[in-house]
């Protein structure tokens, strides 16, 4: 798929409860070419720090926040023109960001939502 490249920078926020079984795969699935940063906000400091040490994500620990508060913290700490959200047990498709962010070249666009299905197909 040949999708035009956006001039906007993107911060991807991934809340987690420290689920190392899936978070590494979730972070690895985020396309690196069009993003500024990946922020992983975890309830625990368990092994999540390895993502920061590997340089694949910025990691923050926020044990007392619920999912909404975690996302809000991510927005406040993000540096991108656009903020994208995914979760720790989701792997995104290669064109997930590129197909969405091109819509933001139109200044009338404030929100873009993509469809997804879970591991169970729903």
Q: Please, what CATH class does the domain formed by 10-105 belong to?
A: alpha beta
What pLDDT is stored for residue 72 in this prediction? 95
- Name the residue ranges covered by the structural domains of the chain: 10-105
Report pLDDT for 29: 85
The pLDDT assigned to 13 comes to 93
* Low-confidence residues of the chain: pLDDT under 70: 1-6, 32-34, 46-47, 49, 52-53, 116-122
Q: What angle do CA 83, 113, 38 make, to 5 degrees?
A: 30
- Per-residue pLDDT at 2: 46
3-state SS, the chain, equals CCCCCCCCCEEEEEEECCCHHHHHHHHHHCCCCCCCEEEEEECCCCCCHHHHHCCCCEEEECCCCCHHHHHHHHHHHCCCCEEEECCCCCCCCCCHHHHHHHHHHCCCCCCCCCCCCCCCCC
pLDDT score of 71: 93
Residue owning tokens 């619920």: 66
pLDDT at 1: 44
- Supply the pLDDT for residue 38: 87
Record the pTM: 0.81
Spatial strand order of the sheet with 58-61 comes to 58-61, 37-42, 10-16, 82-85
**Which pLDDT does position 100 carry in this prediction?**
85
């Amino acid at each position: 798929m040949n999708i035009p490249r956006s001039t906007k920078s993107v911060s991807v926020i991934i809340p987690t409860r420290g689920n190392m079984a899936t978070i590494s795969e979730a972070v690895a699935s985020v396309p690196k070419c069009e993003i500024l940063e990946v922020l992983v906000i975890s309830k625990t400091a368990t092994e999540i720090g390895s993502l920061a040490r590997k340089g694949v994500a910025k990691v923050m620990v926020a044990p007392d926040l619920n999912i909404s508060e975690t996302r809000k913290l991510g927005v406040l700490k993000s540096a991108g023109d656009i903020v994208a959200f995914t979760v720790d047990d989701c792997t995104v498709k290669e064109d997930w960001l590129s197909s969405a962010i091109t819509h933001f070249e139109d200044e009338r666009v404030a929100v873009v939502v993509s469809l997804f299905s879970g591991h169970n197909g729903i």
